[in-house]
Amino acid sequence: MSAPFLEVRNVTRRFGGLVANSEVSLTVNKGEILGLIGPNGAGKSTLFNMIAGLYPPNEGRIFFEGKDITAMSAPERCALGIARTFQVVRSFDSMAVIENVIVGSLVRSASAGEARRAARRVLELTGLARRAEAPASELTPPEKRRLEIARALATQPKLLLLDEALTGLTPSEARDGVELVRQIRQDGVTIVMVEHVMEVVMPLVDRAIVLNLGKVLAQGSPKEVVRDEAVIGAYLGERHRAA
Amino acid sequence: MPPDAFARKRRTELGVAAVVAILVALLPIGLHDVYLQNVLILTLMYAALSQSWNILGGYCGQISLGHAIYFGIGAYASTLLYTHLGVTPWIGMLAGGALAAVIALILGYPFFRLRGHYFTIATIVVAETGLIAMINWDYAGGAQGIQIPYGPDSWLHLQFARDKLPYIYFALGFACLTWFVSWLIEDSKWGYWWRAVKDNAEAAESLGVVVFRSKMAAAALSAFFTAIGGSFYAAFVSYIDPDSVMGFQFSLLIALPAVLGGIGTLWGPALGALVLIPLTELTRSYFGGSGTGLDLIIYGLLIMVISLARPEGLTSLVALLGRKLITREPASAGSGASS
């Protein structure tokens, strides 16, 4: 059997006395959209940040395409093909939109000119082409979310980690976002997304993993997960049972 | 902006710079006053120094107020090599530049773990330490300094006792070189990476930028060119002592033009030097003194006015005027048609 695309094995992360993740194990299959859900404080962001390389776990290991990446820095993971967005957008505000994306595309380009051409293609894919020369600081909030995704895509990732990329959008903006995520997956990128809004995530993801109190509570298809007794008790609440 | 528009913008920048350089090169024809020639040389030199500082402080966002140490290293390296070993200042300035780059890397290794103001304070402290070390180093002349022995005018020895013109052209060449390096940086991997590091280091790392190495590269390049300025200055004044090439005022004078003109911009350092250096020299000559008082008050006032009125620096003012001119043209054409 070949190694899983991404494997998180018995990972524990503590912040002082707080155990944010406790012996979490999960695998991500190539080509799928995986939703990482759970109530506030469940440890979603901690797990997400460990996969992205912001900080290492205290225990356990993380494997990407069979390689142990547990101790790798964020730039090394980016070179391997892991990209992320941030929950609170972190655009490079002194730079133009296209320059923001060039920073990402440089990692796969031989020259700045090539990076600029690649960035232009990504802007067209993400619907930001007509804002290419605007200062990033002048973008609207939904445009900034798109820029986060565009920048990450420019690194040509195999695995894209989206941290609440669809949160805080209006319903129509969220629908556009969902379309974009589907498009990205169709282009062969595996996606792990942390989300709060169940209505947005559930139709989009192939599989959902529910975290609660730093542990995996349930996993399976969206339909299975929303019917899971433990999930309803801990997260969804009784009103969901009726639905 | 489509790709060819971007290429056109880059070419226009080069063209404007070439025109400015040619105009400055023609300036000495009508400029025979030695005092004004000195002002011109210093303005060009500080434009180049500030452009060098801008690589680390502007593009990469690591504010150094200790660049006097690299300036001093350049001045001492070429002067010591010349007076003790007879090495031409041309080689001396390259040696000084290389030494400054190495020192910048050694200092950067611990300092780039510091952020924001802590980094700036560390640069001030280390420059002061360098100053004290030079005062106590007898081989380098100690507190008394070194006099470069006079010889006949010579490009090889970079010595011109009677004629300022060669210094003007050297300073102009130096300013053009640092400007051109900045122009190259602006559309290069390092340029984009440095600006990303300045804006948000964590996001930059997630996009494959090795932040620490980026800062080190910016520091080394910035120190190299600053030291070349120091070597030139030593040849120009032909006498150096620790205070006159490593004093804190140099750290300020190297950083201020970029801050005034527009930090992290291509034209900011030159524009800032054009305003600041003549102003400094004029206040010195009109109000006397060695510049210990009034010129500093004027710096302070300038910084206050700029930070209140145009926090992005003078270049943003130029850009604003440009936009106003462009938007006015179609408006006036429209009113003309309706009347």
Angstroms from A117 CA to nearest CA on chain B:
8
Nearest to A38 by CA among A181, A179, A215, A176: A215
- Which amino acid would we find at residue B69? I
Between CA A71 and CA A74 the distance in angstroms is 10
- Quote the pTM value: 0.90
Q: Which two tokens stand for residue B91?
A: 């080689």
* Domains of chain B, residue spans: 3-247
Between CA A86 and CA B209 the distance in angstroms is 16
Q: Alpha carbon of A61 to those of A13, A33, A80, A184, B246: distances in Å?
A: 11, 22, 17, 28, 52
DSSP-based three-state secondary structure for A132: coil
Comparing alpha-carbon positions, the chain B residue that sits nearest to A88 is B203
Between CA A176 and CA A165 the distance in angstroms is 12
Dihedral sign, Cα of residue B11, residue B12, residue B16, residue B17: negative
Alpha helix stretches (DSSP H) within chain A: 44-52, 74-80, 97-105, 112-125, 141-154, 171-186, 198-204, 222-227, 229-231, 239-242
- B3 pLDDT band, cuts 50/70/90, is low
Number of H helices, E strands in chain A: 10, 10
Question: What is the model's pLDDT at position A6?
Answer: 96
- B327 pLDDT band, cuts 50/70/90, is low
- Longest Cα pair distance anywhere in chain A, in angstroms? 58
* Residue that has been written with the tokens 């020639």 in this structure: B37
User: Cα angle at A30 between A14 and A142, to 5 degrees?
Assistant: 70
Cross-chain residue pair A84–B200, CB shorter than 8 Å? no
Considering only CB atoms, B208 lies closest to which of A78, A94, A113, namely A78
CB B268 within 8 A of CB B58: yes
- Which amino acid would we find at residue B231? S
Average pLDDT over residues B49-62: 97
Between CA B215 and CA B195 the distance in angstroms is 10
- B333 pLDDT band, cuts 50/70/90, is very low
Q: What is the CA radius of gyration of chain A?
A: 18
Identify the CATH assignment for A1-78+162-170+192-243 out of 3.40.50.620, 3.40.50.1370, 3.60.15.10, 3.40.50.300.
3.40.50.300
CB B178 within 8 A of CB B48: yes
Q: Which two tokens stand for residue B142?
A: 């100690």
Residue A82 forms beta bridges with which residues? A159
Query: B3-247, what's its fold?
Result: ABC transporter involved in vitamin B12 uptake, BtuC (1.10.3470)
Between CA B235 and CA B245 the distance in angstroms is 12
- Which amino acid would we find at residue B124? I
Treating both helix axes as pointing N-terminal to C-terminal, what angle do B268-287 and B248-261 enclose, rounded to 10 degrees?
Answer: 130
Alpha helix stretches (DSSP H) within chain B: 3-26, 34-54, 68-85, 89-111, 117-135, 165-186, 189-199, 201-206, 211-237, 242-246, 248-261, 268-287, 294-309, 314-338
User: Cα angle at B77 between B74 and B78, to 5 degrees?
Assistant: 85
Q: Which residues of B touch A94 (CB under 8 A)?
A: 195, 198-199, 264
ipTM of the complex model: 0.91
Long-range contacts of A146-150 (CB under 8 A, 24+ apart): A146/A177, A146/A180, A147/A89, A147/A91, A147/A97, A147/A100, A147/A101, A148/A85, A148/A86, A148/A89, A148/A90, A148/A91, A149/A85, A149/A180, A149/A184, A150/A100, A150/A101, A150/A104, A150/A122, A150/A123, A150/A125, A150/A126
Between CA A217 and CA A211 the distance in angstroms is 5
Angstroms from B9 CA to nearest CA on chain A:
13
Average pLDDT over residues B105-119: 92
* Residue that has been written with the tokens 């205070």 in this structure: B243
Ordered per-residue pLDDT tens for chain A, 243 residues: 578 999 999 999 999 889 999 999 999 999 999 999 888 888 999 999 999 999 999 999 999 999 999 999 999 999 999 999 998 999 999 999 999 999 999 999 999 999 999 999 999 999 999 999 999 999 999 999 999 999 999 999 999 999 988 888 888 888 889 999 999 999 999 999 998 777 778 889 999 999 998 999 989 998 888 888 888 887 777 666 654
Cross-chain residue pair A74–B205, CB shorter than 8 Å? yes
Between CA B269 and CA B182 the distance in angstroms is 11
Between CA A124 and CA A173 the distance in angstroms is 17
* Domains of chain A, residue spans: 1-78+162-170+192-243, 82-156
- B2 pLDDT band, cuts 50/70/90, is low
Angstroms from B172 CA to nearest CA on chain A:
29
Angstroms from A131 CA to nearest CA on chain B:
9
Cross-chain residue pair B204–A103, CB shorter than 8 Å? yes
DSSP string, B59-102: IS----S-THHHHHHHHHHHHHHHHHH---HHHHHHHHHHHHHH
Question: What is the model's pLDDT at position B337?
Answer: 37
Residue A68 forms beta bridges with which residues? A63
Q: Identify the weakest region by mean pLDDT among A177-186, B174-183, B329-338.
A: B329-338
Q: Which residues of A touch B193 (CB under 8 A)?
A: 103, 106
Q: Which residues of A touch B60 (CB under 8 A)?
A: none
Comparing alpha-carbon positions, the chain A residue that sits nearest to B1 is A133
A:120-179 residues touching chain B, CB 8 A cutoff: 120, 132-133, 151-152, 154-155
B:39-98 residues touching chain A, CB 8 A cutoff: none
B184 close to A (CB below 8 A): no
Q: What is the pLDDT of residues B305-318, one digit of tens each?
A: 877 877 778 888 87
- B241 pLDDT band, cuts 50/70/90, is very high
